[in-house]
Amino acid sequence: MLKKTRILFIVVLFALSSLSFVSLQLGNHFEIAKNLELFASIFRELNSHYVDELEPEKLIRKGINAMLGSLDPYTSFISEEDMGSYKMQTTGKYGGIGALIRQSDDYVIIAEPYEGFPAYKAGLQAGDKIVEIEGKSGKGKTTSDVSKLLKGKPNTDVTIKIERMGVAQPMTKVLRREEIKLESVPFSGMVSKDVGYIRLTNFTEKCSKEVSNKLKELQKDHQAKSLILDLRGNPGGLLSEAIDVVNVFVDKSKQIVSTKSKKREWDKIYRSKNRATDTEIPLVVLIDRGSASASEIVSGVMQDLDRGIVIGTRSFGKGLVQTTKNVGYNSKIKLTTAKYYLPSGRCIQAIDYSGGYNDKLEKVPDSLRTSFSTLTNKRKVYDSGGIDPDIEVKGHEYSNITASLMSKQHIFNYATQYRSKHSSLAQPKSFELTDTDFNDFVRFLGAKEYDYVTESEQLLKDLRKSAEKEKYLTAIQQDLQTLESQIKHDKNKDLSKFKTEIEDLLEQEIVSRYHYQKGRIEEMLEEDPAVKKAISILSNSSEYQQLLRK
């Protein structure tokens, strides 16, 4: 151990000394060399004299992470053991069983098996509790722990023991790992007679080809006359794929995005390289707060080029570009190297990290945002704060009782129970929860805990605290008690009051037990306000064209 520590120290010291020499040779500030030497000296003293035995690698890793974390949220160190997760983010591929997992009390459960992959082939179901992995208890393990055990090289086996609701004895399953390739387009289809729909969940390798192929299928097999491209909740990914997704709808040689770095010679202009799939089809792009980075490039370019209408809520506001660099020992550093600019000239970065990163940094206020113009129709668009939709349609805000039922996993668990009692289910568009089913759900809740505090109750609590602090409580005590009794929530009444939204979530969860992710999405689209608005606009050519001219 001592020998390894000395070797590691020598390597670190040599690397730091080399960096100091290079820095001085390049004429950088004396402070760089001085502080690198200080770091090496401090580490040497700690390693030699600290009262307890140190873990040098762990200590240095913390230093690296703290250094990078002070710059912005996106600059990070990718260690050798983290390379699998990094590759999955960029390629959508990993070796494993193909299942989404989640924490449930002391165990990890299957949240959803992916169709066509080992978990699905082995008959695993949502709600299955993983009680053993390779003979070791699953109790107390986190989703991260279990994920590492389930992942592995393709064509290797992993043995798990599960418990399933409605089945008396635990079941042992031997699963052969495969290369799992998650689809960037988990669902595409028709949402009306003439309107096609494509959901793109991330920008991984070749996702642009998936979008192009799905568009061709919708046009050939279903005669789609217009399209909704759904980027809600899409956190981004590869810049090259964002450019190629735009290229599906925009002609060759169009400027899509430009990047600017601290050195002018590093600046780049990116143009579409290929012939577009369709430059004329009327297009609506859906975005929300979860749409970031590459999603904002696609939606922003469609806006700037007057190529489509953007509907939803303002996007995240990430206008920074990250580049990965090899740093040795099968590791990489992902660092912010540039800002990107849309065709109108705007950068939509919402937070300025030039002075360093901390949790108190705020977004640029709307009053300080600068206006730009779209290229053809000169519509007004803004920088610094994300992409503003052409038409704002807010997502559904759930009631306190519904949010509690979801967070306590009661909706998930009821769907698991429903699946144990019903071997089949109608197609997503045909399935509706009956009053009998809903009443059964209410009975299922029974004495289960799902309490919550309404906004009115919270305001009264705050008022009581303020009144007590300011010595007014005695005077208004009686009035407060009257108000509290009047607004005290009744869970049974709330179950009835918010029955419709609870039923919608129950239907989505139950459908996913039989028709998996595609079924869930199809069920969700039935009552999606943004999709409904998009269909309305795309079904009215004059309204669509008028919006593009505004």
User: Residue 528 and residue 58: Cα distance in Å, rounded?
Assistant: 47
Q: Kindly provide the b/e burial profile for residues 368-402, where b requires at least 16 CB atoms within 10 angstroms of the residue's own CB.
A: ebeebebbeeebebbbbbbbbbbeebeeeebbbbb
Cβ(166)–Cβ(421) below 8 Å: yes
In 3D space, the residue among 103, 204, 87, 79 whose CA is nearest the CA of residue 151 turns out to be: 87
User: Residue 516 and residue 351: Cα distance in Å, rounded?
Assistant: 38
Quote the crossing angle between the two packed helices 2-25 and 56-69, to the nearest 10°: 30
- Beta strand segments in 30-127, E: 76-78, 93-96, 99-104, 107-113
Report residue 531 as tokens. Answer: 């999709």
User: Residue 188 and residue 196: Cα distance in Å, rounded?
Assistant: 8
- Say which of 214, 318, 332, 533 is annotated catalytic: 318
Handedness of CA 331, 296, 261, 383 (dihedral sign): negative
Report residue 393 as tokens. Answer: 């349609």
In 3D space, the residue among 310, 290, 297 whose CA is nearest the CA of residue 338 turns out to be: 297
- Say which of 230, 288, 304, 504 is annotated catalytic: 304
- Say which of 226, 272, 293, 512 is annotated catalytic: 293
In 3D space, the residue among 258, 235, 231 whose CA is nearest the CA of residue 245 turns out to be: 231
Q: Kindly provide the b/e burial profile for residues 419-454, where b requires at least 16 CB atoms within 10 angstroms of the residue's own CB.
A: beeeeebeebeebebeeebbeebeeebeeeebebee
DSSP secondary structure code for residue 408 in this structure: T
User: Residue 494 and residue 487: Cα distance in Å, rounded?
Assistant: 12
Handedness of CA 458, 459, 464, 466 (dihedral sign): positive
Q: What is the 3-state secondary structure (H, E, C) of 104-136?
A: ECCEEEEEEECCCCHHHHCCCCCCCEEEEECCE
Residue 336 half-sphere exposure toward CB, CA atoms < 13 A: 20
Indicate if 304 belongs to the active site: yes
Helix (H, G, I), strand (E, B) or coil at 25: helix
User: Which residues are known catalytic residues?
Assistant: 293, 304, 318
